[in-house]
């Protein structure tokens, strides 16, 4: 009763889970308690975008590509599936790190029309089209929305990095499919 499973992914997002544990840690220190498990979990979760970038570089290297100049198609900017909320989304620091490394990134999210980057720049989100899939050196799934046609994505992608295990229910025979 009331069980809600959580699965590994590219990091935590939303307005409470990434922030509230740090408040609890701060409050516990007032009473001389040390919350090592919460702090360690927070550090691991905060570092997941860096881990994703490192895996993206490994995958592109296997494909004979460098990160700089590669074309990355990011599927999802929302912090979890089937919503339009991108607050504290791990996809945003991943996108920022990819762009800072010289990758050309396109974001597709059926729930988010545009998002504010660093609270000032509004960035439009594209619709998923066949030409975007075929052009991408790597499709990076950062949000496993139900609206994505995962079979079509698989059939038309050079390489896929699935950080959300979106293909757990899809026949997967892609030779260049990578999981988190």
Q: pLDDT digit string (tens) for 4-16? A: 777 778 877 766 6
Residue 128: CA count within 13 A, CB half-sphere: 22
Q: What is residue 18's predicted lDDT score, i.e. its pLDDT?
A: 61
Q: What is residue 168's predicted lDDT score, i.e. its pLDDT?
A: 83
pLDDT digits (tens, 9 = 90+) for 143-166: 999 999 999 999 999 999 999 999
Q: What is residue 17's predicted lDDT score, i.e. its pLDDT?
A: 65
pLDDT digits (tens, 9 = 90+) for 86-141: 988 999 999 999 999 999 999 999 999 888 776 666 667 788 999 999 999 999 99
What is the CA angle 71-140-134, rounded to 5?
A: 50
Q: What is residue 120's predicted lDDT score, i.e. its pLDDT?
A: 62
Question: How big is the chain, counted in residues?
Answer: 180
pLDDT digits (tens, 9 = 90+) for 20-59: 777 788 888 899 988 888 888 888 888 999 999 999 999 9
| Edge-to-edge strand list for the sheet holding 177-179 | 104-108, 71-75, 138-141, 160-162, 177-179
Q: Rounded distance, CA 100 to CA 116, Å? A: 17
Q: Rounded distance, CA 85 to CA 155, Å? A: 29
Q: What is residue 15's predicted lDDT score, i.e. its pLDDT?
A: 66
103-137 burial string, b = 16+ CB within 10 Å, else e? bebebbbbbbeebeeeeeeeeebeebeeebbeebb
Determine whether 16 is an active site residue: yes
List the catalytic residue out of 15, 16, 39, 62. Answer: 16
Question: Which structure tokens are listed for 170?
Answer: 């899809």
- pTM recorded for the entire structure: 0.87
């Amino acid at each position: 009763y009331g069980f809600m499973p959580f699965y590994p992914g590219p990091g935590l997002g939303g307005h409470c889970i990434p922030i509230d544990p740090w408040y609890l840690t701060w409050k516990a220190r007032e009473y001389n308690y040390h919350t090592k498990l919460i702090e360690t979990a927070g550090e691991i979760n905060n570092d997941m975008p860096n881990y994703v970038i490192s895996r993206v570089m490994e995958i592109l290297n296997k494909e004979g590509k460098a990160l700089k100049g590669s074309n990355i198609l990011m599927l999802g900017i929302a912090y979890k599936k089937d919503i339009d909320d991108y607050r504290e989304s791990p996809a945003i620091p991943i996108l920022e790190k990819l762009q800072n490394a010289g990758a050309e990134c396109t974001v597709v999210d059926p729930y988010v029309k545009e998002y504010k980057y660093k609270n000032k720049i509004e960035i439009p989100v594209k619709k998923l089209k066949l030409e975007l899939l075929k052009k991408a050196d790597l499709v990076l799934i950062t949000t496993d929305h139900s609206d994505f046609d995962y079979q079509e994505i698989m059939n038309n992608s050079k390489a896929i990095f699935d950080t959300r295990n979106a293909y757990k229910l899809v026949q997967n025979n892609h030779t260049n499919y990578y999981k988190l």
